[in-house]
Amino acid sequence: MVTFSHLDAGTDEERWQAAFDARRLPNADLDVDALVVVAAHPDDETLGVAGLMHIVAAGGGRVIVVVATDGENSHPVSPTHTPDDLRSVRRGEVREALDKVCPAASVAFLGHTDGGLDAVQTRLTGEIEALVRTVGSPRSRTLVVSPWTGDAHRDHRIAGEAAHAVARHLGVRYRAYPIWLWHWGTADDPPWGHIELVPLGAEAHRAKAEALGAHRSQTAALSAAPGDEAIVSGRMLRHFTRGFETLIRIDDDPAPDESWHGSTPQEHFADLYARRRDPWGFETRWYEERKRAVLLASLPRPRYARAVELGSATGVLTAQLGDRCDELVGVDFAEAALETARDRLGERENVELMRATLPAEWPEGTFDLIVMSEVGYFWDAPDLERAIAQAIASLRPDGHLVACHWRHPVDTNPVSGDGVHIALRTQQDLAVVVRHEEDDFLLEVFARPPAPSVARETGML
């Protein structure tokens, strides 16, 4: 079993250059529409594949970065920085680095404990799968990359195992990238028969160099005090200034053009309403009544000027939202559901019910409250992406977007509830104000950055 310390001298880069020069290695196939980069810690993505991200983005591909932990325990005995300090610093460094190589990239910070991924491997696997399902590109044109499981670092192994399991389950392309191998290994250690190279042109090489400079908390000492030493020494950093990056092929690529399921068809809902007036038990289940109470209590303001409820169904939540809004638009395409909602709402003048197929048809105007409750997982990835984009475009500068979704697997849904929320959290124009998490459902309230808290917005801070 390999053991090492970042304080070790490590292997000279000249030895690695000689090892590469002695071999003829194939270039990786980078003809992809979407790249999902899984990182165990902030900076893994930059050290390993910043050039790859730049190349895919420059070619018009979508780049999504998933950071499993915040790397808050990188300096466990630092006298100058607490884990909370480092958590904030390192998230900012990721964003700064991505601005250098692919400014349009989406990033999801999962916030798991640094050094503790083994305790959440199942959950991490589910989160990665949920996100990959929101990509929407053909499976054979979606590439997932993650730290190599042979990197001799536990968090890297867990992140790599989780990402690989997702790729195999979904049938998407997968490659691994080594980080610490270059520090502790010798020319006898890499799986040379599975290695592919990503040549970096001048622009990609320059962009990566700038991105590496963003991770100052790792490449420079936090202070002169013991315990604040650099994690990635100058000697180690040389391994990541090569004119190429290294990927490791684990499996054969999937068959071409395997597409995802489409959005849930309208016939599915027509059949449900034909058989039952209240197919989800909105009127009878305590679970639903309690969840509505949690949602309403989570709204950051007592009242809103103009709101929209996406997928208003039979109007149970609509009626309660109407008590908090000057104007409310409830949108659904199922006529049977809208008829029940009309009966429930009666002659309420501040509530309009609109029949439309979301997201292709969207209500006009802007809103200071958008409610996306138990609807996002019915859309496939392209429709979910379109719905989120339209919601952001119609959200007023000071508005709130509320998302609430069932978390358990449903085989007929194109994406999971967690996947919907991960897709929302990767939006640069949204930040979380409120988060309520249970085993059964996840509720989040989003606002445009900096997304002030309720206390701050109401002048208490």
**H/E element, 331:** strand 325-332
- Distance (Å, rounded) from C-alpha 176 to C-alpha 153? 14
Alpha carbon of 292 to those of 195, 226, 282, 352, 374: distances in Å?
52, 52, 9, 20, 11
What residue type is 34 in one-letter code?
A
pLDDT-flagged residues of the chain (< 70): 1, 255-260
Any idea of the CA torsion for 101, 197, 26, 252, to the nearest 10 degrees?
-80
Omega into 450 within 30° of 0, i.e. cis? yes
> Rounded to the nearest 10 degrees, what angle do helices 417-425 and 381-394 cross at?
50
**Pair of tokens at residue 61:** 């591909």
CB count in 10 Å sphere of residue 335: 11
Q: How far apart are CA 194 and CA 181, in angstroms?
A: 15
* pTM, to two decimals: 0.84
Angle between helices 83-101 and 44-58 (to 10 degrees): 30
**Cα–Cα distance measured from residue 225 to residue 230, given in angstroms and rounded to the nearest whole number:** 11
The residues of the chain that CATH labels 3.40.50.10320 are 13-249
Alpha helices in 40-137 (DSSP H): 44-58, 83-101, 121-133
Nearest-angstrom CA–CA distance, 461 and 117: 35
Q: How many residues does the chain have?
A: 461
| Lookup: tokens for 429 | 């124009």
Residues with Cβ within 8 Å of 166's Cβ and at least 6 positions away in sequence, in order, are 125, 128, 129, 132, 144, 172
Residue in 81, 401, 372 with CA at minimum distance from that of residue 220:
81
Do 93 and 42 touch, CB atoms closer than 8 A? yes
Q: If one looks up domain 266-457 in CATH, what number appears?
A: 3.40.50.150
Residue 343 is classified by DSSP as H
pLDDT in tens, 122-165: 999 999 998 998 887 777 889 999 999 999 999 999 999 999 99
Q: Output the pLDDT for position 258.
A: 55
CB 210 within 8 A of CB 54: no
In the CATH hierarchy, which fold is given to the domain comprising 13-249?
A: Rossmann fold (3.40.50)
Helix, strand or coil, per DSSP, at residue 46:
helix
From the number of C-beta atoms within 10 Å of its C-beta (0-12, 13-18, 19+), residue 265 rates as exposed
The answer to whether 453 and 461 are in contact (CB under 8 A) is: yes
Cα(141)–Cα(256) distance, rounded to whole angstroms?
8
Q: CATH 3.40.50.150 region(s) of the chain?
A: 266-457
Computed from CA positions of residues 274, 277, 281, 282, in that sequence, does the dihedral angle turn out positive or negative?
A: positive
pLDDT of 259 reads 58
Whether 200 and 207 have beta carbons less than 8 Å apart is answered as no
Question: Which residue is it, tokens 């391994």?
Answer: 239
Three-state secondary structure call for residue 25: coil
Distance CA 303, CA 306 (A): 9
Radius of gyration of the chain (CA): 24
**Side chain identity at 25, as an amino acid letter?**
L
Beta strand 195-199 pairing with 367-373? unpaired
> Is residue 409 within 8 Å of 377, Cβ to Cβ?
no
Alpha-carbon distance of 111 to 367, in angstroms, equals: 31
Would you list the DSSP string of 184-241? Answer: H--TTSS-GGGEEEEE--HHHHHHHHHHHTT-HHHHS-SSSSTT---SS-HHHHGGGS
DSSP-based helix, strand, coil % in the chain, nearest 5: 40, 20, 40
Nearest CA-CA partner of 71 in 118, 39, 106: 39
